[in-house]
Amino acid sequence: MNIASFAPLAVVLPILGAALTFVLIRHSRAQRTVSIALLSLTLALECLLLASVWEGGTAAVNIGGWLPPWGIVMVVDQFSSLMLVVSSAVSLAVLVYATGQGMADGDQDAPVSIFHPTYLILVAGVSNAFLSGDLFNLYVGFEILLTASYVLMTLGGTGPRIRAGVTYVVVSVVSSVLFLISIAMVYGATGTVNMADLALKLADLDPGTKTLLHVMLLVAFGIKAAVFPLSFWLPDSYPTAPAPVTAVFAGLLTKVGVYAMVRTETLLFPGDSLNTPLMVAALLTMLVGILGALAQNDIKRLLSFTLVSHIGYMVFGLAMSSVAGLGAAVFYVAHHITIQTSLFLVTGLIERRGGSSSVDRLAGLAKLSPLLALLFFIPAMNLAGIPPFSGFLGKVGLMQAGIELGTPLAYGLVIGGVLTSLLTLLAVARVWNRAFWRKPSDAEHPDPVLLAPRETSDTGRRGGRNNVTLLPRTMVGSTLGLVLLGVSLTVFAGPLFKVSDQAARDMLDRSSYIQAVLGEETAVPLILTSGGGK
């Protein structure tokens, strides 16, 4: 019995955890233990999955014994298992952070008892989307994670969260409806929703129909992935949610959209029919996103804009449809999930320590809390792509692939990528200068807590907020763990690049995926690409 046949447990375990934590809703300590234990178990299982896929190649699991293309199938290949491992590691860190926050604050700010089941369902939805080998099951995975995210987004039901939540829910529902319409059209055109089967049958369609289906799917996923011009909703809705929720949304939800786009481009509609529009969208996403970030004072909003902007890098890598480009994009997704989440977690800590997340009110944090400064500095430099961090390596990979491709548009994207990287550095350096380096008396509206004399240590209770632990150990510890994970992506960039290149090669080749689902003897037609598909 292969370990890969346990892949559905990556979905089942979090759902089981959600059920258990619901039963234990009155016992917060038991709830915490159960959710952390089950998520750790899921992470361990996914590490085993990654190892087994690395050894034995792509594997498919037929749910309920129904043979494909009729039954639901879950596929574990290198890309999906890598995404599973990274996403679960990040969600575990955020869960520890959130429990730390809940323990420190009690139930005043947010009903933490609801948080655990919802959070686990979100993780289950993300895993389901990554594992799904079936277009409709992918839709169900999206809906599971979106419904959980609606609840998390409006946790506590305060005015700003409800306001942002309405926009978020409506935009998400519209994108889901678009996705469902595309599924209906795909089914009407081919008579199947199994992705491996579709990969074979879509090739026979009339080019016009094919382009229509392709565009419909990309638009639906583009809203979820926040690709310009479909990214308008993200900076509006993410920053109002509680810090751990924003962190996990920023890390995972848009990446699920990117994952679905990658599958669409490589498996369902191979070739380069829509690469030019995708590249233009990638360029605009990068530039418009980062210019938006420069205008922000609130760190959470600034980070939301950088999140949008850096989605552009992934789309750029995807749009090149070469092994080098796609491999770099896979690497970049793994890097960005970790880095963006840790930055949002640090921002949560900054908000606790400094009393605000607006750079107008923050000052002098480097002196107040050197550890916090270090925790912000490392991922911020990593995001901006300063050598030797993984952000730099991922960007260099993308640039190399772009220059290898050698079209004028690719050169334009390389230049745009470098520019975006510099502007990201400017944006985070502004935050650094204002929040960490200047004197509290220089701030426009300094928070009283910053001006108060230093009486106690970071973990103590003080000043205007004497009932709040400013920096609880659990929260700092989990953030530190995630920052270290980000640094380890730099240290182990060689093996990671090997995995992502192999994943890209498998995805572009398609045969391992299709044969794992439909049987070894299935003939996979070669794909004709005009450039870069070596």
Residues at the site binding other proteins, with contacts judged by CB under 8 A: 136, 140, 143, 147, 150-151, 154, 157, 159-160, 162-167, 169-170, 173-174, 176-177, 180-181, 183-185, 187-188, 193, 236, 239, 295-298, 301, 356-361, 438, 441-445
Provide the 10 A C-beta neighbour count for residue 495.
9
Least Cβ distance, residue 299 to other proteins (angstroms): 10
Report the chain's terminal Cα–Cα distance, integer Å: 36
144 vs 319, beta carbon nearer other proteins: 144
Strands (DSSP E) contained in 197-355 are none
d(CA 247, CA 152): 12
174 vs 452, beta carbon nearer other proteins: 174
* 90, 268, 336 from 86: Cα distances, Å: 6, 25, 10
On the 0-12 / 13-18 / 19+ scale of CB atoms within 10 A, 44 is exposed
Least Cβ distance, residue 297 to other proteins (angstroms): 6
Q: Would you tell me the crossing angle of helices 390-405 and 493-509 to the nearest 10 degrees?
A: 40
359 vs 410, beta carbon nearer other proteins: 359
222 vs 440, beta carbon nearer other proteins: 440
Closest C-alpha to 10, from 99, 141, 136? 141
On the 0-12 / 13-18 / 19+ scale of CB atoms within 10 A, 128 is buried
Do residues 331 and 394 make contact, with C-beta atoms less than 8 angstroms apart? yes
6 vs 187, beta carbon nearer other proteins: 187
d(CA 261, CA 268): 10
Least Cβ distance, residue 248 to other proteins (angstroms): 19
Least Cβ distance, residue 171 to other proteins (angstroms): 10
Residue 428 is given by DSSP the state H
Least Cβ distance, residue 473 to other proteins (angstroms): 25
318 vs 431, beta carbon nearer other proteins: 431
On the 0-12 / 13-18 / 19+ scale of CB atoms within 10 A, 8 is middle
Residue with tokens 């369609």: 205
- Tokens describing residue 154: 């409006």
240 vs 382, beta carbon nearer other proteins: 240
37 vs 181, beta carbon nearer other proteins: 181
Q: What angle do CA 281, 283, 288 make, to 5 degrees?
A: 90
Least Cβ distance, residue 136 to other proteins (angstroms): 6
Least Cβ distance, residue 61 to other proteins (angstroms): 20
Residue 133 is given by DSSP the state -
Least Cβ distance, residue 211 to other proteins (angstroms): 19
